[in-house]
Amino acid sequence: MMKSITFLIVTSMIGILSFNAYFINTHSNTFNKPDSEEFAMTYFDEHEDNTLPEVKGLNIDIAETIVGKKGHFDNIFLKITSANNLQVLDIKCNGHVVRAADDGESIEKIDLVGLSFPIEKQKSVIINLKKFINTQLTETGTYTVHVQLSSQNDINGLPQVIDKEIYIRLI
């Protein structure tokens, strides 16, 4: 406990001294008050400019073609995140569509992406493509699964849809 307090005091003092050292005029040994133009602290959110949603693979690299055995494909967990609430989340492949966001349209088959209820006013969700691939893609070959999502509207009030393509090869 004493080591923690000592460490806290020492690091605080180093921080104060190093901060103040920036404003000491070494030629006259005086302290200069910073001008607002000379010194300004800026706080920012790393997601502030990135308002478009992102899709990331949790257990797999989705930038590569994912290979699996037909009917016995393994879990493919996707984490979908956004700075704003997700308005659209559709998973499409070869005419099969799963609407996972509650946008007033049919939300049948959302269990195919590992959800038991549609997402509504959420900024992130984790889905699993295993059941979708094993039940909807029945022939060997290469497929493109489209994950279409949106969290904001364009100037006309229509959703700005992002289409993330994930390449699947069934053997």
SS3 77: strand
Q: How many angstroms separate the CA atoms of 92 and 13, rounded?
A: 57
Q: What pLDDT shows up at residue 46?
A: 45
**pTM exceeds cut of 0.75:** no
Sign of CA dihedral 47, 50, 55, 56: negative
pLDDT tens digits in sequence order for the chain, 171 residues long: 666 777 777 777 676 655 555 555 555 555 555 555 544 444 444 444 456 789 999 989 999 999 999 999 999 999 999 888 888 889 999 999 998 887 666 566 888 998 888 888 888 999 999 999 999 998 999 999 999 998 888 778 787 888 999 999 999
pLDDT digits (tens, 9 = 90+) for 10-20: 777 676 655 55
pLDDT of 28:
56
Q: What is the DSSP string of 3-33?
A: HHHHHHHHHHHHHHHHHHHTTEETTTTEEPP
Q: Which whole-number Å values give the CA distances from 79 to 31, 95, 112, 169, in the listed order?
A: 51, 23, 16, 21
pLDDT at 44: 41
